[in-house]
Amino acid sequence: MRLPRRKRKPAPRPPDPAPNEQMAASKYAPYLDELAATSIWHMSTRLPRLIGLAWTWAWRADRTDTAATIGLNLAAGVFTAVGLFAVTGVLEPLFTGGPTPERVRAALPSLALVAGAYAARALLQAGAGWAQARLRPQVERLTELHLFDLTSRIGLEAFDDSEFNDTMYRARDRGQYEAAQVITSAVDVLTSMVSITAAAGVLAVLHPVLLPLLALTVIPDGWAAARAARMRYERIRDLTPGRRRKWALGDMLASRDSAAELRAFTMRGFLIDEYTRISDIERAAMLAVARRQTVIRLLGEGAGGVATAVTYAALGALLVAGAMPLAVAGTAVFAIRTAQSSLSTLLFSLSATYESGLYFSDFLEFSRRAAQRLPDAPTARETARLAAVRARGVVFAYPGEQTPALDGVDIDITRGEVVALVGENGSGKSTLARLIAGLYTPQSGSITWNGTDIAGMDPDALRGRIGLINQEYTQWPLSAQRNITMSAEADGTRLEEAARLSGADEVVTGLAYGWDTMLDKRFVDGADLSGGQWQRIASARGLYRDADLLIADEPTSALDARAEKRLFESLHAHAQGRTVLLITHRLASVRMADRIYVLEKGRVVEHGDHENLMACGGLYAELFRMQAQAYEEGAPLTHDTGSDTAVSSPLAEKTPGLTH
């Protein structure tokens, strides 16, 4: 079902936001403040939780591959340690006195151990790499499915909330893919920690002062990496509203739907200018980040270099003072180099894990917020056949809107009736229909189905009882058949009946592959339909569902006179034993309705049948006469009442609706 598009009143239109407003940090200041505190300490307190959560996803995706990834990497790390200790065994005999052949011979067993350890490590790493490579697509599949499971279940209000849209964008943009990256980097953290432990063990044995000196050489680098990662993330988060707007503009520039209007209104220059303007702001922001990151990294590496010099100077001093023999110093240099490279890997992977973790936390944040927007567990699982729907005192305002779209609405729909909602543009008809379909929940008042508030009903069970011909129907990129059945299964008899009643049968007859024709030109052998043909398909979709209540929201706006007549007759026939809620501006077609509710600015201002409403001479009578007059007198398509109700087709007089 297509999301209700946000329909704005034409005036007053707010001016385009200034560039800096477009790119302004949204309402995440508290979160950004928290990020601003990023330090090695902050990183180390956040990381374990993020890594733990990422592993939970991996475990859910595939237990064997997760266990293999951890187990084999750990085992490979152990062999790194074995190899390092064995290197000490090689160097020690080589640096001791005596003839060279003997020294080499003495070193041979350790050398064999080094070779064996590194061969075993290579094999284990290959196995771990395979498990890790298998894990990645499985985790990505799981997070993607989780995301779409949520996006397709959350309340419709979420899509009207710009802040929630930002969160969803970040989760889709990068967040959902970062769980797998957190896992990969966390594995690197694990393996480098094992080899550091081995190197640190060797150094601690050689001389206790070497260990703190070694730590000093890498801490500045680590600090710089953490700060640089945070800076980049913070800036990208900050840019989200602008990036989302750029994404929307990019869609317009590269989509088939907008391609025709883009050209017809020569909008290319305007759109590209707008795109460039936002891109420029984004580029400037990212270049500034790159500059600051370089400065931070230079500082880190400079400080690290000084610390390395101090370490080697200390080693030299120990040698000169005779506190350390040359053979031990040689081993120490090797161990320092190994430890340094492992520490760099550790810090690099820590910072990579941290950076991925930040994006992954966007995904977690989205999951948390989306879960809060899931409908409450239904109190009633079954939805009985419709006897009556009643709205009482319904008040509803769209998220972020001050003025309610519905303000104290009461209506009754009883089984077997045709009930019509009429009124001028923006009076609240579609909103009321969406509330009755359980797509939105009123802020106050109630809508009941056989006396039970629909807010407590199972939404899917309720929707199973309702068919919807949506005003803004979706052109699904599916075959003609699936565009009507909305599932892989089809009930042939119902499909034929729905197609006949709506006129979709004539559309399908003209398609190259009949029911199997893909209704999307972007795909091989895809076909496209005219506006009216699409509307017939959308009507068939509503009629195919053998629902108790059919909500038809402007079902004929694009139909020709013959198709319109046929559809209204079908709706009338459909109402035998069922119920129809009809929204239309074609007032001739609502004469047959059992009851007509006239809405104005979110309130019911009149109700009754056609005769009553005409007799009381209110808004309905005015709108009806205006339409009839336009055809009777051949009046121009303008009027002076300020009403923006569409002028109907000649159907109004030629086929005066469906008599009741």
The alpha carbon of 211 is separated from its chain's Cα centroid by a whole number of angstroms, namely 48
- Cβ partners under 8 Å of residue 451, min gap 6: 388
Smaller CB separation from ligand ATP, 8 or 27 = 8
> Which residue among 21, 144, 401, 516 contacts ligand ATP (CB under 6 A)?
401
Region near ligand ATP per CB under 6 A, out of 74-82, 407-415, 424-432, 478-486: 424-432
The interface with ligand ATP within residues 132-161 (CB under 6 A) comprises 160
556 binds ligand ATP (CB under 6 A): no
Residue 113 to residues 78, 88, 130, 339, 548, Cα–Cα distance (Å): 13, 11, 26, 20, 79
Smaller CB separation from ligand ATP, 403 or 659 = 403
Smaller CB separation from ligand ATP, 360 or 473 = 473
Region near ligand ATP per CB under 6 A, out of 18-26, 177-185, 353-361, 427-435: 427-435
Length of the chain as a residue count: 660
> Which residue among 83, 242, 423, 542 contacts ligand ATP (CB under 6 A)?
423
Smaller CB separation from ligand ATP, 318 or 433 = 433
Three-state DSSP class for 606?
strand
Question: What are the backbone dihedrals phi and psi of residue 551, each rounded to the nearest 5 degrees, phi first?
Answer: -100, 115
Binding-residue total with ligand ATP (CB under 6 A): 18
CB atoms within 10 A of CB 337: 11
Task: Write each residue from 159 to 188 as x if it is in contact with ligand ATP (CB under 6 A), else as -, in one continuous string.
Answer: -x----------------------------
CA–CA separation, 186 vs 47, rounded Å? 9
Phi-psi category of 392—alpha, beta or left, where left has phi over 0 and alpha has psi -120 to 50? beta
Query: 628 burial class (0-12, 13-18, 19+ CB within 10 angstroms)?
Result: middle
13 binds ligand ATP (CB under 6 A): no
> Which residue among 146, 230, 429, 482 contacts ligand ATP (CB under 6 A)?
429
The interface with ligand ATP within residues 433-492 (CB under 6 A) comprises 471
CA–CA separation, 148 vs 153, rounded Å? 8
CA–CA separation, 356 vs 413, rounded Å? 54
How many helices (H) does the chain have, and how many strands (E)?
22, 10
Smaller CB separation from ligand ATP, 354 or 568 = 568
Smaller CB separation from ligand ATP, 64 or 162 = 162
Smaller CB separation from ligand ATP, 348 or 398 = 398
Q: Which helix (H) or strand (E) holds 652?
A: helix 651-654
CA–CA separation, 281 vs 298, rounded Å? 26
> Which residue among 242, 300, 304, 428 contacts ligand ATP (CB under 6 A)?
428
Region near ligand ATP per CB under 6 A, out of 3-11, 122-130, 365-373, 379-387: 3-11
- Cβ partners under 8 Å of residue 279, min gap 6: 246
Region near ligand ATP per CB under 6 A, out of 5-13, 38-46, 267-275, 453-461: 5-13
Smaller CB separation from ligand ATP, 210 or 552 = 552
- Cβ partners under 8 Å of residue 454, min gap 6: 436, 438, 447, 448, 462
589 binds ligand ATP (CB under 6 A): no
Smaller CB separation from ligand ATP, 64 or 643 = 643
CA–CA separation, 202 vs 634, rounded Å? 100
Region near ligand ATP per CB under 6 A, out of 1-9, 69-77, 262-270, 476-484: 1-9
Q: Compute the least distance from the CB of residue 251 to ligand ATP, in Å.
A: 19
Smaller CB separation from ligand ATP, 92 or 157 = 157
Among 591, 630, 628, smallest CA distance to 613 is for: 591
431 binds ligand ATP (CB under 6 A): yes
Smaller CB separation from ligand ATP, 358 or 413 = 413
CA-CA-CA-CA dihedral for 326, 329, 331, 333, to nearest 10? -140
427 binds ligand ATP (CB under 6 A): yes
Tokens of 57: 């996803």
Q: Compute the least distance from the CB of residue 218 to ligand ATP, in Å.
A: 54
Binding residues for ligand ATP (CB under 6 A): 4, 6-9, 160, 398, 401, 405, 423, 425-431, 471
